[in-house]
Chains A and B, each alone.
Chain A
Amino acid sequence: MSTTRILLVEDDPLLRELVEMVLEVEGYSVACADNGAAGLEQAERDAFHLVILDLLMPVMDGMRFLEEFRRSAERRPPVLVLSASTTPDMTDRALRAGAAAVARKPIDQEELLGLVRSLLEREQSEAGTGNAGKSNGGA
């Protein structure tokens, strides 16, 4: 049984470690990147079922990551944007750039996991029997 793999792109080390812990205890496999450029590299190297993305980051911000991420391949896993600054304008831009959902920090554990599960289920249903599954994600 394959594991649901999530790519976490977040520049704040504290938050990165915490989100990783939250997801791992639920059975997800998490790979981390500390900026958009590193995240793109990871995404090119490995296959992920979901990307969790911060917007304000050094080197390459989340918006640029979204644009590059969508441009480089026809089919991409859903991207959940988690950002501290989400004005209506920025939310709209992120959604147009290809984000599946936008959530504003602070977000609690249940809400985060709920969003992750719902996006994964939607992805699964859209992809039919798709190539990604999860062992016990969302348990």
Chain B
Amino acid sequence: MERAAGGEKGWGPLRHPFLSLALFPVLLGLTVAAIGELGLLRVGNGFLFDLAVARVSPEKPQVLVVRAEPEDAARITERLRGLGADGVMLVLPDASAPVPEGAVAGVQPDQHPRGEVWVLPAKPIGRVAAEIVPPGQRTTRRFLLWLLGEDGPIPTLEGIVTTGISSHPERLAGLPPGEIMPVLEGAQVLAGHLPPGSLTGLIVVVGPPAFQDAERYRVSTLPGAPMVSAAEFHARALQSVLTERTVIAIRGLPSAVLLVLFALLAGAIGGLAPLRRQVPGIVLAGALAVAGGMALIGTAGLLLPLVEIILIALVLALRAAFRKQAAIRRKLLLLGDRSAAQLRSPHRIPDEERWAEFFSAAARLTGVENSLVLSESAEGAFHPLAVFGAPLHESGSPEGSLARSRDFDRADAVPGAPVIASGIGSRGDVQVVRLNSRGEAGLYWVFTTPQASAERDHVQAAAGRLARHALERLDRARPHADWQEPEDRLDRALSGIITRNHEVARAFAGLQAAIILFDPAGVPLQANESMERLLQKAGLSLSRTTPVDFAVAAAGLEMEDARRTLGYLVRHGGQARLGTRTQIGGRHYTVRAARIEGDLLFEVNDVTELERLTRIEAELAGEIDAKLRNDLEAITLATRLAADERFAPERRTRALQMIAQAAQRAGGTLRSLDHLVESSLFENETRAYPLNPRSALDRALARIGPDAERAGAHVRVHQPELVSLVLAEPDQLDCLIEAMLQIIVSDSSRGSEIAVDLIERKESSEIAMQGGFGLPAARFADSLHAPQQDHRSPFRILQRAMRQLPAWGAELTAQSDVGQGYRFVLRLRKT
């Protein structure tokens, strides 16, 4: 008893998961089997059957069709017997048609209850059969070889003329749509021109031709299958029986058992496989079962319930997909709950390193030394989220017990604007600023400022800009926030800032130019080492520099001009060259400003060496110009001389030789010029900045949109919501994407589709596009590499951009073939 009880206890926890694993598949298998028995999936299975049969190669015809009216049936039957026909089947349109003596008469068995109309004798009489097929009556590929009569099995018409009795009466005839049946007219048979014995070995189906659609039967469910008369349909069915192309459809209990077994197998894959392999596993099991089933049609003459199997696999795969989503969601919620709990804990400061990193950057940029970020609970208590530098409670406010004072009310009045927190810092050096909008639990940044008033004003202004920046980002994150807690949003917003700063810093570190990036509020966000050295040389402080100050000092602009130019850039975007030969520390620099991703970027290039090279290039270009002019002069003069009849023929020949000489020399000069230009002039212009590839793609799509509309092509764009920054030169990337799109659009026909995808890879982002009719591969390769005369040709733009790609660490793959269209994949390196 104890063992039994223990056994029950032991089974208790096991039975439940096993049942839950098996119950659904069993029920599903039985349900789908019942649906199949009702005939609701018959069309689908018929289609798969026809599909398998269509691949069978046609065999030698063993059945002949004779088109004849019913009144001639008896005479023709007699004649066919004389010609040696192995069997004759009459397809009669109605019961009143004369039936030859000895023929079996009947109707389609599924049209009448068994034993009601059948007048078949217990034994077949000869091999002549007649079937009455009234016009409009349905003829199907499903037929019976025999029926069970009172005295035993009674063969049907197909059974009489072919094999007679077999163990399984119901068959499906495989009718390949491409099969050709030999046809004779009744008159040809009666005319007596056919030699005796010419039909030996053939079974002949005699029936009237079909003149109306109602009298015709489609031989297959496949598209384009022919419509034939009832006689020909029977002939094809007989051919199928004689060539052993009939199959037995698995139905009833065997079908239900098979489906339940498959459902259990697929259900086990769905329940036991790792989460990410469940759906592919079920789909694979379904595909293998269907492929096996298709193979069985030809090899074993069995038709499994294939559509039922597909249906089961589909339901189980969807169930697994939903369960996967639910599991991921559960995990995320769990993770979120844990993170939120950690964040709210008054005893723990989450991600200290990350917060420290942010405020370290903030201190460097703004001059703030001590920082405290506080969140306010619903009860009005403050909890510190992050502390950096000296603890602020030294100023009189112990950590964790800050009470709401008037300072916070004043900070609430204008979020993003720092106010002096006299209640916290007795010396007036502590300020507080609200980091989120009103209407939700408050987030505050408390920080100290230096004692000196000039320093204090500056730090206060810089911290204010930073706070407004954070406020703006928090508000921007609001519509997408899954978590409603403001500190969560702050955490995410700061994560965004830090991640982006990392990406930008990594990118800038690799650049030769000195770079500084300001946010729209004028706060310096990033500067690389070259810039820090340059600022030091120019006597500027990184934390104090504003874009206008920088433009004045580095580019030598007047204050008003700098304001106007930079204001225009911030409002309208684009880029501007601010100074061409600014001299700092004895070297020459160019200063360029550009709006990138909403921020303002300054790039300072040391052009001292470049200027020297430019001078050399100008001299070289002058020499080449002089050489070319000499060549042109020679060609001009020689051309006239060659046509001047006052010269002897040998001197005119000499003039022609001189033309060739001069042309050859000019060609050499041009080639050297081309090399000079391509190898040095443009390479010096190559630059790469971190930028959002999605914005570049959107801009190019907007520009190409009207052309695509005119061409009637549909542009399908698929791109992720968030993408990483990549390295490229903004203008040239825009031109490159537009050129690729232009090539495809100009080759697209009305109604065609152009697919554009932005795909995130581990190390890169890919812009892939495909469409158009395409060029032959060789011609396309030629267009990509041969010189293009037209400056506006997209291929020329493509060629020029391709030369810049190595400097960006990018790659372009281009393919084309006639009818296949163009395919471009631009792989851009992530920062």
State whether these chains interact: yes
Q: Does A93 contact B (CB under 8 A)?
A: no
- B636 & A109 in contact (Cβ 8 Å cutoff): yes
Chain A positions 48-62 with a Cβ under 8 Å from a chain B Cβ: 56
Please judge, given known A-B contacts A18-B658, A21-B651, A109-B636, whether A84 and B630 are in contact too, CB under 8 Å.
Answer: yes
A15 touches which of B622, B625, B634, B655 (Cβ 8 Å): B634
- Please measure, in the bound complex, the distance between the C-alpha atom of A84 and the C-alpha atom of B630, giving whole angstroms: 6
Interface positions, chain A 96-119, Cβ under 8 Å from B, are 104-109, 112
- Whether A25 contacts B646 in the complex (CB less than 8 A), given A14-B661, A108-B636, comes out as yes
Q: For B637, give its contact among A18, A56, A84, A104 (CB under 8 Å).
A: A18
- Do A105 and B640 have beta carbons less than 8 Å apart? no
Are the CB atoms of A106 and B640 closer together than 8 Å? no
In chain A, positions 76-131 with a C-beta closer than 8 Å to chain B are 82, 84-85, 104-109, 112
Task: Please judge, given known A-B contacts A12-B630, A18-B658, A84-B627, whether A108 and B637 are in contact too, CB under 8 Å.
Answer: yes
Given A18-B634, A18-B641, A21-B641, residue A105 in contact with residue B629 (CB < 8 A) = yes
The answer to whether the Cβ of B632 comes within 8 Å of any Cβ in the partner chain is yes
Q: Assess the A105–B651 pair: CB atoms within 8 A.
A: no
Q: Would you give the shortest CB distance from B58 to chain A, in whole angstroms? A: 78
B662 within 8 A of A: yes
**Complex: A112 Cα to B658 Cα, angstroms:** 19
A19-B637 in contact (CB<8A): yes
B629 touches A104 (CB 8 A): yes
Q: How many angstroms from the CA of A85 to the CA of B637 in the assembled complex? A: 18
Q: Are B632 and A108 in contact (CB under 8 A)?
A: no
Q: Does B626 contact A (CB under 8 A)?
A: yes
Check A17 for interface membership: any CB of B closer than 8 A.
Answer: yes
User: In the complex, which residues of chain A have a beta carbon less than 8 angstroms from the beta carbon of B655?
Assistant: 18, 21
Flag B613-656 by CB within 8 Å of A: 1 or 0 each.
Answer: 00000000010011111101111111011001011000100010
Residues of A within 8 A of B630 (CB): 12, 14-15, 84, 105
Contacts of B665 in A (CB 8 A): 14
The answer to whether A18 touches B638, judged by C-beta atoms less than 8 angstroms apart, is yes
Interface flag for A38 (CB, 8 Å): no
B625 touches A14 (CB 8 A): no
- Is A22's beta carbon under 8 Å from chain B? yes
Which B residues lie within 8 Å of A82 (CB)?
A: 633
- Those of B577-627 within 8 Å (CB) of chain A: 622, 625-627
Q: Please tell me the number of chain A residues within 8 Å of chain B, measured between CB atoms.
A: 20
Choose one: A12, A84, A104, A108; the contact of B640 (CB below 8 Å).
Answer: A108
A107 to B629, CA, bound (A): 9
Pick from A12, A104, A112: contact of B634, CB under 8 Å: A12
Of chain B, the residue at the smallest CB distance from A82 is: B633
CB of B626 within 8 A of CB of A56, answer yes
Contacts A25-B646, A85-B622, A85-B625 given: A105-B633 contact, CB under 8 Å?
yes
CB distance from A79 to the nearest CB of B (A): 18
Task: Please determine whether A84 and B625 come into contact, CB atoms closer than 8 angstroms.
Answer: yes
Chain B interfacial residues counted at CB < 8 A: 25
Instruction: Give the complex CA separation of A18 and B644 in angstroms.
Output: 13
Expressed in whole angstroms, the minimum distance between the Cβ of A114 and any Cβ of chain B is 14
Contact with B along A11-29 (1 / 0, CB 8 A): 0101101110110010000
- In the complex, what's the smallest C-beta–C-beta distance from B142 to chain A, in angstroms? 92
CA distance A9 to B564 in the complex (A): 58
Whether the Cβ atoms of A17 and B658 lie closer than 8 Å is: yes
Q: Which residues of B contact A105 (CB under 8 A)?
A: 629-630, 632-633
Count the A-B residue pairs with Cβ separation under 8 angstroms: how many? 66
Query: 1/0 per residue B642-685: CB within 8 Å of A?
Result: 00101100010001001001100100000000000000000000
Q: Please tell me if the beta carbons of B629 and A25 are within 8 angstroms of each other in the complex.
A: no
Q: Which of B136-174 contact A (CB under 8 A)?
A: none
Q: Quick check: A84 and B626 within 8 Å, CB to CB?
A: yes
A22 to chain B, nearest CB (A): 6
In the complex, which residue of chain A has the Cβ closest to the Cβ of B622? A85
Nearest CB in chain B: distance from A116 CB, A:
13
Residues on A with C-beta less than 8 A from B651 are 21
> Which chain B residues border A106 with CB–CB below 8 Å?
629, 632-633, 635-636
Least CB distance from A8 to B in Å reads 12
Inside 8 A of A22's CB, which chain B residues have their CB? 637, 640-641
CA distance A4 to B555 in the complex (A): 63
Q: Which B residues are CB-close (under 8 A) to A56?
A: 626
Q: Which of B628, B647, B658 contacts A25 (CB 8 A)?
A: B647
**Chain B neighbourhood of A84, CB < 8 A:** 625-630, 633
| Alpha-carbon gap, A106 to B625, bound state (A) | 11
Q: From B627, which residue of chain A is reached at the shortest CB distance?
A: A84
CA distance A106 to B640 in the complex (A): 13
Nearest CB of A to B648, in Å: 11
CA distance A22 to B638 in the complex (A): 9
The residue of chain A having its C-beta at the shortest distance from the C-beta of B657 within the complex is A14
Bound form: Cα–Cα A56–B627 in Å: 10
A85 partner residues in chain B, CB cutoff 8 A: 622, 625-626, 629
- In the bound complex, what is the Cα–Cα distance between A22 and B628 (angstroms)? 20
**A residues less than 8 Å from B636 (CB atoms):** 106-109
* Chain A contacts for B662, CB-based, 8 A: 14
> In the complex, what distance in Å separates the CA atom of A18 from the CA atom of B637?
7
Whole-angstrom CA separation of A22 from B629 in the bound complex: 18
Name the A residues within 8 Å of B634 (CB-CB): 12, 14-15, 18
CB distance from A50 to the nearest CB of B (A): 17
Cα–Cα, bound, A71→B651 (Å) = 39
Docked Cα-Cα span, A108 to B635, in Å, equals 9
A82 to B644, CA, bound (A): 23
How far is B313's CA from A62's CA once the two chains are assembled, in angstroms?
93
In the assembled complex, the CB of A72 is this many whole angstroms from the nearest CB of chain B, namely 28
Question: What residues of A have a CB within 8 angstroms of the CB of B626 in the complex?
Answer: 56, 84-85
A40 to chain B, nearest CB (A): 22
Q: State how many angstroms separate the Cβ of B343 from the closest Cβ of chain A.
A: 73
Roughly how many angstroms separate A100 CA and B701 CA in the complex, as a whole number? Answer: 62
In the complex, what distance in Å separates the CA atom of A112 from the CA atom of B640?
12
In the bound complex, CA of A64 to CA of B809 (Å): 53
Note all chain B residues with C-beta closer than 8 A to A25.
Answer: 641, 644, 646-647
- Residues of B contacting A107 in the complex (Cβ-Cβ under 8 angstroms): 633, 636
The residue in chain A whose Cβ has the minimal distance to the Cβ of B646 is A25
- Closest chain B CB from A109 CB (angstroms): 4
CB distance from B476 to the nearest CB of A (A): 58
> Which residue from B628, B640, B661 sits with its C-beta under 8 Å from A109?
B640
Specify which chain B residues have a CB less than 8 angstroms from the CB of A12 in the assembled complex. 630, 634
What residue of chain A has the Cβ atom nearest to residue B662's Cβ?
A: A14
**Distance from A96 Cβ to chain B, minimum over Cβ atoms (Å):** 21
Q: How many angstroms from the CA of A19 to the CA of B622 in the assembled complex?
A: 23
User: How far, in angstroms, from A110 to B625 measured CA to CA in the complex?
Assistant: 23
A84 to B637 CA separation, bound complex (whole angstroms): 15
A residues whose Cβ falls under 8 Å from a Cβ of B: 12, 14-15, 17-19, 21-22, 25, 56, 82, 84-85, 104-109, 112
Q: List 19 A-B contacts (CB under 8 A).
A: A14-B634, A14-B665, A15-B630, A18-B641, A21-B637, A21-B641, A25-B644, A84-B626, A84-B627, A85-B625, A85-B626, A104-B629, A105-B629, A106-B629, A106-B633, A106-B635, A106-B636, A108-B637, A109-B641
Task: Give 19 A-B pairs besides A106-B629, A109-B640, A112-B637 with Cβ atoms closer than 8 angstroms.
Answer: A12-B630, A14-B630, A15-B633, A18-B633, A18-B637, A18-B641, A18-B658, A21-B647, A22-B637, A25-B644, A56-B626, A84-B625, A84-B626, A84-B628, A85-B622, A107-B633, A109-B636, A109-B637, A109-B641
* Leading 5 A-B pairs by shortest Cβ distance: A84-B629, A84-B626, A106-B632, A106-B633, A105-B633
